[in-house]
Amino acid sequence: MKFIPAIPDPTASEQELLQRYHDTGDLALLGKLYSPYMDLVFGLCMKYLEDNEAARDAVMQIFEQLVVKLRQHRVEYFKSWLYTLAKNHCLMELRSGKKARVVSLPDNIMQSEAPVHLNGSEQKEMNLQALEKCISALTTEQQRAVTLFYLEQRSYHEIADQTGLDWNKVRSLIQNGRRNLKICMEKKIHEQQL
């Protein structure tokens, strides 16, 4: 009698895929599990966020959440659990105030009649100075995480090992730091233009 290694069944049920992903952490299995629901998740996100780009971003952010959450929890009914996860994600996005408001201005409104342009090197120097100020305005933990991730190009796992922080905390620090840097830089650039 010969033993042949088991070949993964392409018609595996959701429960089997969930179990295999929970055990192995194989992202291909998670992709196979999530892909049939991506259109439904996108539609749900469009319903709540009312913005095409925000809904697309949400679909990917929800997948990132699945990477972690499905390894931590046992899920019996994936479709209903995913619906609840997606709905809660959208509600949190709306609560966080990330929804941009667009205001239309008449075409005849200008800041100045004479166009003023900085040459490229002056603009880069001003942007670097603004970036340094914005980085120093971050919390100490955010500064360290952002510096390690962007300037030293370390991974989340390397940063977690080096700092002794939990992987999710590192991810949160980098995301919040990036958001705070973006807000600060937009404010600085706006001030430069005045």
pLDDT band with cut points at 50, 70 and 90 for residue 41: very high
pTM for this structure?
0.45
Which pLDDT score, from 0 to 100, does residue 40 have? 92
Amino acid at 118: L
Q: Considering the domain 14-95 in this protein, what is its CATH number?
A: 1.10.1740.10
3-state secondary structure 85-110: HHHHHHHHHHHCCCCCCCCCCCCCCC
Residue showing tokens 């619906």: 83
Q: What mean pLDDT comes out for the span 16-33?
A: 86
Answer whether residue 136 shows pLDDT above 90: no
Domain with CATH 1.10.10.10 in the chain: 123-193
Which pLDDT score, from 0 to 100, does residue 13 have? 83
Is 185:131 a contact under the CB 8 Å cutoff?
Answer: yes
pLDDT band with cut points at 50, 70 and 90 for residue 58: very high
Which pLDDT score, from 0 to 100, does residue 110 have? 52
Which pLDDT score, from 0 to 100, does residue 19 have? 86
Spatial distance between the Cα atoms of 171 and 153, rounded to a whole number of angstroms: 14
CATH topology of domain 123-193: Arc Repressor Mutant, subunit A (1.10.10)
Average pLDDT, the chain: 80
Number of other CB atoms surrounding residue 75 within 10 Å: 20
Q: What mean pLDDT comes out for the span 10-31?
A: 81
Burial label for 87, CB within 10 Å (0-12, 13-18, 19+), is: middle
